[in-house]
């Protein structure tokens, strides 16, 4: 797959998925603390989301950062718009703004224990 094809697949995921998370690892097996934190927040929110692991090919991260103008991972998109990375998502979650953006109810508690988190669909991959 060349860079143009990678960029097209990233654009497709951003445009077609209501909530799209680009992360290191997968929701079930995050490979960095920031990605783990954002998946915990999304799971606690009860939001349905899709995720893509940027680690299999360094070009995925390069093309994603070129599209978004955001240098760090994770990157959360809602309705095709960049929400931000871990710090912004955390602040929005704590203020209740994230629930509004996602179109879900704000959880009563800030965290849901891992055993109660809903299962997520397998992450999207570029092959």
- The model's pLDDT over 85-95, given as tens digits with 9 standing for 90+, comes to 999 999 999 99
Give the model's pLDDT for residue 121. 58
Contact 89, 76 (CB under 8 A): yes
Q: What integer pLDDT is reported at residue 120 of this predicted model?
A: 59
Model pTM score: 0.83
37-46, 61-70, 98-107: range with lowest mean pLDDT:
98-107
If one counts every other C-beta atom within 10 angstroms of the C-beta of residue 12, the result is 11
pLDDT (tens digit, 9 = 90+) per residue, 11-38?
999 999 999 999 999 999 999 999 999 9
Q: Is the pLDDT of residue 82 over 60?
A: yes
Question: Domains of the chain (ranges plus CATH)?
Answer: 3-104 (3.40.30.10)
């Amino acid at each position: 797959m060349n860079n143009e094809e990678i960029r097209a697949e990233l654009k497709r995921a951003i445009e077609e998925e209501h909530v799209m998370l680009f992360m290191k690892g997968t929701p079930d097996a995050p490979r960095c603390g920031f990605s783990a934190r954002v998946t915990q927040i999304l799971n606690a929110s009860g939001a349905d989301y899709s995720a893509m692991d940027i680690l299999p090919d360094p070009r995925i991260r390069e093309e994603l950062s070129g599209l978004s103008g955001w240098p760090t991972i994770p990157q959360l998109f809602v309705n095709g718009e960049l929400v931000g990375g871990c710090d912004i998502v955390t602040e929005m979650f704590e203020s209740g703004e994230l629930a509004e953006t996602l179109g879900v109810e704000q959880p009563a508690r800030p965290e849901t224990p891992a055993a109660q988190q809903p299962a997520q669909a397998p992450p999207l991959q570029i092959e």
